[in-house]
Amino acid sequence: MYFKKFLKISSGAFAGVLLMTINSANAFTACQVTDVGGVDDKSFNQTAWKGVQDAVAKHGIDSKLLESKSETDYEPHLNSMVNAGCDVIIAVGFLMGEATKNAAEANKDSKFTIIDFAYDPTVPNILGQVFATDQAAFLAGYVSAGVSKTGIVGTFGGINIPPVTGFMDGFAWGVKHYNKVKGKNVQVLGWDPDAKEGLFTNNFDSTDDGKAFAQNLYDEGADIVMPVAGPVGLGSASLADELGSDKLKIIGVDGDWTQTDPARKSVYLTSVLKKMDVTVLSVIESVKSGSYSGGVTVGTLENGGVGIAPYHDLSSEVSSELASEVEALRKGIISGSIVMNK
């Protein structure tokens, strides 16, 4: 019976739907191609997608999404979005840099924006969004050094690429700055900002790796870990959840993980925010208003493109003295009186 009804409705709708499917973009449409890891990664892709959804809610535009399952998907996915008549195409991730450039050069009428990639020279129909995450991670590193009881903190990354290592650089510099100011010797495991070498899972999707890497760092004495690998870090959080936040704390990246992963919010000391949602929304608005132009935009502490999340459940661990020092550092970085890499 149900099937009959289905057929009845279907055949009537057939012609209309066929047209809609093929010729789908009448309203303003923002389209996103995510990197591997999926749009529900509670981190990188999800934050960027939130920007699109915010635009949908605010301006009533249409949106389309394609999730990459592997790196071989980038090129055909971007081409599909071009063919779908998107008004702006958002490529999420450094690894898509080459594919986005090829697509943009082959389709000069389409407008692109890419997260974490700045072209040199710039491409007229791509707006690169890069983020000074080292500034925000610097603050997180400083807090961690102040909160750590073992005097050892750790980090690991997904792949050794600038958008990942930017976090790790800032984190290590922040700890170093703490040591200099306080005359302490807090150690950072997992990243050497001078040699550019450290711990990497070499993927952005295995939560098992996230757990194993955090376990290794914990075994080496680290009691605070910052995983910079999108959803991989959720594995680290599950370890911290098992051990208890007095033994291991996690620092989130990209979004505020107490919001995206509320079930384990007690393990997050803070999160290094990379507000892709804000920049994606503003790019969509600029395309809509006609003020879009290619080039590069940089999110900093000053313009609010990066920042750190509140300490939430663990705010009792952060003394008011430490918190005010962090606030002073933030102002110092903005004014330029603090040079991070020293």
Partner 1 sequence: MKIFNYFGNYFSNRETFQEIIVIPVFATLLAIFLGLLLLIVSGSSNEIALKALIALFYGSFGSISSISETLTAATPLIFAALGIAVGFKAGLFNIGAEGQIILGGMAAVIIGFSFQLPFFIHLILILLVGALFGALYAFISGWLKATTGAHEVITTIMLNLIAYRLLDFFLRIPSIQKEGRNDPISKSILDTAELPRILYFLDPNLRVHMGFLIAIFAVLIVYWLIFYTTIGYEFRAVGKNLEASRYSGISPSMTIILAMSIAGLLAGLAGASQIAGVLGRATPGFSAGIGFDAIAVALLGRAHPIGVLFAGILFGALIAGGRQMQVSADVSLDLITVIQALIIIFIAAPVLIRKLFPWIFR
Give the residues lining the site for partner 1 (CB under 8 A). 6, 9-10, 13-14, 17-18, 20-22, 24, 31, 36, 64-67, 69-73, 75-77, 79-81, 83-84, 95, 106, 159-162, 165, 196, 202-203
Q: Please say which residue, 65 or 318, places its beta carbon nearer to partner 1.
A: 65
Starting from the edge strand earliest in sequence, which strands make up the sheet with 268-274, in order? 187-189, 152-157, 224-228, 249-254, 268-274, 306-308
- For residue 42, the minimal CB distance to partner 1 (Å) is 17
Which is nearest to 39 in space by CA: 64, 57, 65, 63?
A: 65
- For residue 124, the minimal CB distance to partner 1 (Å) is 19
Q: Please say which residue, 11 or 335, places its beta carbon nearer to partner 1.
A: 11
- For residue 284, the minimal CB distance to partner 1 (Å) is 18
Q: Please say which residue, 79 or 303, places its beta carbon nearer to partner 1.
A: 79
- For residue 304, the minimal CB distance to partner 1 (Å) is 29
- For residue 161, the minimal CB distance to partner 1 (Å) is 4
Which is nearest to 136 in space by CA: 164, 162, 165, 174?
A: 174
Q: Please say which residue, 26 or 335, places its beta carbon nearer to partner 1.
A: 26
Contacts of 153 (CB under 8 A, 6+ apart): 141, 144, 145, 171, 175, 186, 187, 188, 189, 222, 223, 224, 225, 226
Q: Please say which residue, 151 or 162, places its beta carbon nearer to partner 1.
A: 162
Task: Report the distance separating Cα 140 and Cα 309, nearest Å.
Answer: 9
- For residue 106, the minimal CB distance to partner 1 (Å) is 6
Q: Please say which residue, 64 or 176, places its beta carbon nearer to partner 1.
A: 64
Element (H, E) at 84: none
What is the number of other CB atoms lying within 10 angstroms of the CB of residue 300?
17
- For residue 169, the minimal CB distance to partner 1 (Å) is 12
Task: Report the distance separating Cα 293 and Cα 295, nearest Å.
Answer: 7
Q: Please say which residue, 76 or 332, places its beta carbon nearer to partner 1.
A: 76
Contacts of 28 (CB under 8 A, 6+ apart): 59, 61, 62, 87, 288
3-state helix, strand, coil in the chain (%, to 5): 50, 20, 30
